[in-house]
Structure 1
Amino acid sequence: MTYEFELNYFRGPLNAWIFKALSSYMNRLFGDSKRKLFEGHPSTVVEIGPGAGANMRYYSKGTNLIAIEPNLHMHENLHKSAYQYGINLKIRSLVGEAIDLPDNSYEFVVSTLVLCSVHDPEMVLQQIKRILKPDGKFVFIEHVKAKENTFLAWFQRLIHKPWHWFFEGCHTNRDTASILQSIGFSSLTIENYNQYSPFVAIIPQIRGRAIK
């Protein structure tokens, strides 16, 4: 069984169902952070990896959302969420490493719990920086690598392989904060925190803003 077959006919549909089923619970976990990060967003938003549309409830009604979502099985739920929350949705079936939007064109880009699973996070972040207007803002929430010699670090290593397979390439222990710092944003604010939940593999987290 090839990777493409698994993704298209097993993991893709399964993850689309799981993301939709967990939407309300993830709202309880990350809702306050998202409201603060998205506050005052412009009329057009680019979101990398929106999944089933969990973030749409935090966008103003009438927002124009450009969704970069390569998993075709997520698209039906994206359309349903857009209708529910009054969002004007355009989907681009692209990976984050190959965004086809023009340079210096958008004021606001969002990524939540996505950089853990992309193939090349540095390239994705470079693409985000490229499409942002001068002084444009990128806001993010990500789970990251735990401190060495802790229970969380041990557990992340233990569960990494099955988690990585099941959740479409998600890394339990990616050092995303260091990657963000390497991109060369003019301003970068990162807050480290622990949002505890039964999903121990995705503790700890970071949230913050980057300005081009």
Structure 2
Amino acid sequence: MSSEFKNNAILGPINSWMFKILSGYMNYLFGKSKRDLFKNHPETVVEIGPGAGANMRYLKKGTKLIAIEPNIHMHANLKKSAKKYGITLEIKTVIGESIDLPDNSIEFVACTLVMCTVANPAKCVEQIKRILKPAGVFVFIEHVKAKENTIVSFIQNVTHKPWHWFFEGCNTKRDTKSLLESAGFSSLSIEEYNSYSPFVPITPQIKGRAIK
């Protein structure tokens, strides 16, 4: 997440409340995809930007979640979600570009609808690769830049600044697909699709998994 938003005294609490309220609707939009991505996850999972803990419902009870969440205003709801779903929670108040975990130490990393907010997404992906064990898995769902000269591309351009301000630095025009393709994973599976909802700027999306 961009440093200007991670501990914003106004936006932080608002976003924490909003993400908690939207949890059910986001499950409606992304639940099937997330259940498929999180299937057969190991006992310990690292999540980049878990927010209020919406993805905990897809984890097995007793899972240890290492939450890389720099927004301190999310932490109270993270703890509530962990208690609700029976998750052992460890919160690290660091950004995705500087994860304080050892090299080759983690089997499974997840990141959903977060890479758009990271100030330096290439550095974040480097950190994910660094902490993954050989053959470790990174799963992701991200909205991406629309094709040029389309209606959605026009809407992304028009809404970019207010969207960026309100949604914790979210960039509606980030080309995360190209970033992942150039990251050097040994295996990469990406599905491109459109997710239709009232949130038009995030209609074009990708999901998949990468193996170190």
**TM-score relative to the length of structure 1:** 0.97
Structure 1 match to 2:70: 70
Kept after mapping to 2: 8 A contact 1:116/1:172: yes
The answer to whether the 8 A contact 1:46-1:110 is kept is yes
Residue 156 of structure 1 aligns to a residue whose secondary structure is: helix
Partners of 1:207 and 1:84 lie apart in 2 by: 27
Residue in structure 2 matched with residue 10 of structure 1 by the alignment: 10
The answer on whether the counterparts of 2:159 and 2:201 sit within 8 Å (CA) in structure 1 is yes
Q: For residues 88-129 of structure 1, what are the alpha-carbon distances to aligned partners after superposition, in whole Å with 9 as ceiling and x for unaligned?
A: 000000000010000000100000000000000000000000
1:189-208 matched pairs, under 5 angstroms: 189-208=189-208
* Matched letter for residue 84 of structure 2: Q
Q: 2:108 matched to 1:108?
A: yes
Q: Which runs of 5 or more structure 2 residues have no equivalent in the other structure?
A: none
CA separation in 1, counterparts of 2:150 and 2:138? 31
Written as runs of structure 1 = structure 2, the 5 A alignment for 1:149-164 is: 149-164=149-164
1:162-173 alignment runs, 5 A limit:
162-173=162-173
Q: Is the 8 A contact 1:192 1:204 kept in 2?
A: yes
- CA-based RMSD of the aligned residues comes to 1.2
Structure 1 counterpart of 2:28: 28
**Contact 1:152–1:203 (CA<8 Å) still a contact in 2?**
yes
Residue 188 of structure 1, CA deviation: 0.5
After superposition, where does 1:32-71 map in structure 2 within 5 Å? 32-71=32-71
Which residue does 1:134 correspond to in 2? Answer: 134
Is contact 1:37-1:139 (8 Å) kept? yes
**Structure 1 portions without partners, runs of 5+:** none
Partner of 2:123: 123
The 3 A distance-change label for structure 1 pair 105 and 14 is same
Between Structure 1 and Structure 2, the one with more helix by share is 1
Alpha-carbon shift at residue 198 of structure 1 (Å): 0.2
Task: Give the secondary structure class of the aligned counterpart of 2:51.
Answer: coil
How big is each residue's C-alpha offset from its partner over 1:1-35, in whole Å with a ceiling of 9 and x where there is no partner?
xx859942101111111100100000000000000
User: Per the alignment, in what secondary structure is the counterpart of residue 18 of structure 1?
Assistant: helix
TM-score, normalised with respect to structure 2:
0.97
Distance in 2, matches of 1:113 and 1:8, equals 20
Gap change, CA 1:6 and 1:144, over 3 Å in 2: closer
The separation in 1 between residues aligned to 2:129 and 2:6, in whole angstroms, is: 32
- Secondary structure at 2:90 match in 1: strand
* SS of match in other structure, 1:196: coil
Which contiguous aligned blocks of 4+ residues in structure 1 show a shift greater than 2 angstroms?
3-8
